[in-house]
């Protein structure tokens, strides 16, 4: 009897050790994936940069990857991505914050749950659907309204991106607005401020870092979006202008990858590496913002 329980305990101990090991491995899986992604991107992204030269690559204004004398300058992509993201933020963030205020402070329980349900649904719509709608509705409208030969340009991309970042901006700023202590608002109301003044002069400033986090998140979404942009931005490697067909960093990778070869292919990996660095920077900022809020 004694030996049998001893044996059971032994097998149980071994099982415990095995499970402990398995869970530890699982736990470090995320770290491993990040390292693998970084290593693969760096290894495949650096040769082209070395061959082209980092300044020619980053600040060259001409991308002609399939020309007889190819040139690989990605400044048009970088600037298009930056302008496109900035434009989307300019439209999407004010709209998003106002809507978050509506959900958190103005609307009654029922209406607020309807609106936040709608925002939830919006976040679930696939990006190709947004891109397709942009292609069918926004591109022709832009062409008509501004009397352009082609409506597929930076402006259309900005509108589609502005709509696409709304759900993340709204849900994060809503949480931030809701977490402002009640006493702040009550104090302001007691001093004679109206409800609207309280929202704009007390609640929003107090929720500032959370709202900032939502903006950074929106920037990340917009700069990383590929398919929708590919369908509405016209996809020509121009230096950006509001009514010019442009290529973002993301769409540069997506549009040429399937038929690329040699240095062109390696240059595309380098574009992805640049995009990755941008995203890491944005993540870093997001982390700092969130950390500051926790303090």
Reduce the secondary structure of 143-199 to three states and give it as a string: HHHHCCCCCCCHHHHHHHHHHHHHHHHHHHHHHHHHCCCHHHHHHHHHCCCCHHHHH
Q: How many CB atoms lie within 10 A of CB 53?
A: 12
**Cβ-based nearer residue to another protein, 15 or 61:** 15
Residue from 78, 226, 233, 246 that binds another protein (CB under 8 A)?
226
How many angstroms separate the CA atoms of 259 and 132, rounded? 23
| DSSP-assigned letters across all residues of 15-67 | HHHHHHHHHHHHHTHHHHHHHHHHHHHHHHHHHHHHHH-HHHHHH---EETTS
User: Out of 48, 154, 161, 170, which residue is the one contacting another protein (CB under 8 A)?
Assistant: 170
Q: Which is nearer to another protein, 75 or 91 (CB)?
A: 91
3-state secondary structure of 224: helix
Residue 246 pairs with which residues in a beta bridge? 234
Could you say which residues in the range 263-292 bind another protein, by CB under 8 A? 269, 272, 275-276, 279-280, 282-283, 286-287
Question: Which x/- pattern, by CB under 8 A, does the window 128-167 give for another protein?
Answer: xx-xxx-xxx-------------------------x--x-
Judged by CB under 8 A, which stretch of 54-62, 64-72, 107-115, 175-183 contacts another protein?
107-115
* 34 versus 64: smaller Cβ distance to another protein: 34
Number of residues that bind another protein (CB under 8 A): 84
Q: Which residues in 35-54 contact another protein (CB under 8 A)?
A: 36-37, 40-41, 44
Supply the minimum distance, in Å, between the C-beta of residue 287 and another protein: 7
Choose, by CB under 8 A, the member of 3, 4, 6, 30 that binds another protein: 30
Three-class secondary structure of residue 235 per DSSP: coil
Candidate residues 85, 238, 250, 266; the one interacting with another protein per rule CB under 8 A: 250
Which residue has 């963030």 as its token pair? 93
Burial pattern 281-292, b for ≥16 Cβ within 10 A else e, equals: ebeebbeebeee
Tell me if 98 contacts another protein by CB under 8 A: yes
Which tokens is 120 given?
């939830």
Q: Is 20 in the site for another protein (CB under 8 A)?
A: yes
CB of 99 to another protein, least distance (A): 5
Which of residues 99, 158, 207, 213 is near another protein by CB under 8 A? 99
């Amino acid at each position: 009897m004694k030996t049998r329980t001893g044996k059971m305990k032994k097998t149980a101990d071994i099982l415990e050790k095995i499970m402990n090991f398995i869970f530890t491995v699982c736990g470090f899986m995320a770290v491993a994936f990040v390292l693998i992604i970084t290593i693969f991107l760096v290894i495949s992204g650096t040769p082209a940069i070395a061959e082209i030269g980092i300044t020619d690559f980053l600040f060259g204004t001409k991308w002609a990857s399939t020309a007889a004398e190819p040139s690989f300058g990605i400044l048009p992509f970088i600037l298009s991505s930056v302008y496109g993201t900035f434009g989307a933020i300019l439209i999407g963030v004010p709209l998003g914050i106002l809507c978050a205020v509506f959900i958190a402070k103005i609307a009654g329980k029922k209406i607020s749950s309807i609106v936040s349900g709608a925002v939830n649904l919006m976040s679930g719509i696939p990006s190709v659907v947004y891109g397709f709608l942009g292609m069918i509705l926004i591109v022709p409208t832009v062409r008509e309204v501004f009397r352009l030969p082609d409506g597929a340009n930076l402006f259309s991309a900005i509108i589609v991106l502005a709509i696409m970042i709304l759900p993340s901006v709204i849900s994060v700023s809503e949480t931030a607005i809701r977490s402002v202590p009640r006493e702040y608002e009550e104090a302001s109301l007691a001093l004679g401020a109206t409800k609207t003044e309280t929202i704009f002069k007390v609640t929003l400033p107090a929720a500032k870092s959370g709202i900032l986090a939502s903006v950074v998140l929106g920037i990340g979404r917009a700069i990383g979006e590929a398919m929708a942009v590919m369908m509405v931005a016209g996809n020509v490697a121009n230096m950006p202008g509001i009514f010019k067909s442009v290529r973002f960093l993301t769409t540069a990778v997506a549009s040429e990858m399937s038929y690329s070869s040699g240095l062109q292919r390696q240059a595309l990996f380098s574009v992805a590496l640049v995009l990755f660095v941008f995203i890491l920077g944005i993540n870093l900022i997001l982390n700092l913002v969130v950390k500051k809020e926790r303090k």
